[in-house]
Amino acid sequence: MPGLIHEKRCLPPVAGVDEAGRGPLAGPVVAAAVVLPARRVPRGLDDSKKLTAKERARLCALIEERAVVGVGVVEPQEIDTLNIYWATMKAMTLAVDQIAATLGCVPGHVLVDGNRLPRWSYAATALVGGDGLSLSIAAASIVAKHRRDAIMIAHAEAHPHYGWASNKGYGCAAHLAALREHGPSPLHRRSFAPVAQAELPLR
């Protein structure tokens, strides 16, 4: 279970950062940054992948009520321009910049899930498996996942063929079949191979 060991080693305020949506064929990549409160940290924070959608929604509401939260969103067109790695780095940077603007100062330290850091001036540490180690990163993972899922569910109404309400843009069999039948939507990432292949003319 995640705890506050890593946060206690850092100069406050400490922001945890995580992203959602690197792998899908459609939709944005979303990053969140969270500075937890000194008291009343929501109970049950964990890696978002270990939680149900209902639990994520409940915890996201508590996090946004009690913590300082920043969110960065990079849309598919920019993902295609930058590539998904740099788009993810940009989303993380936008999220932490928003935290800094809200706090009126830069975070004392930033804990980032993964093994790479954006090119920024913030003091930061990359933690592999950070969403299972740090409560701040776990909170960020919940916010990023819940926010991105909400975006894809909203887009599903305008693009019902692809089943985004359930698959959130990931390349499951039903999504791939719909992609072959209907072609890409404006929200598909054309730099991703299955989407690029769906655009090729049939011979």
Give the pLDDT confidence of 115-162 residue by residue, as tens digits. 999 999 999 999 999 999 999 999 999 999 999 999 999 999 999 999
Q: Please report which confidence band the pLDDT of residue 16 belongs to, taking 50, 70 and 90 as the band edges.
A: very high
Question: How many angstroms separate the Cα of 54 from the Cα of each of 57, 59, 62?
Answer: 5, 9, 13
Contact in structure between 55 and 175 (CB atoms under 8 Å): no
Q: Please report which confidence band the pLDDT of residue 201 belongs to, taking 50, 70 and 90 as the band edges.
A: low
- Determine the Cα–Cα distance for residues 25 and 154; give it in Å rounded to an integer: 16
5-159 carries CATH number 3.30.420.10: yes
Q: Is the pLDDT of residue 202 over 50?
A: no
Characterise 44 by phi-psi region: left (phi > 0), alpha (psi -120 to 50), beta (else). Answer: left
18 assigned binding-site residue: yes
User: In the chain, where are the structural domains located?
Assistant: 5-159
pLDDT of residue 199: 73
113 assigned binding-site residue: yes
Instruction: Tell me the pLDDT tens digit for each residue of 59-80.
Output: 999 999 999 999 999 999 999 9
- Determine the Cα–Cα distance for residues 72 and 166; give it in Å rounded to an integer: 23
To the nearest whole number, what is the mean pLDDT of the chain? 95
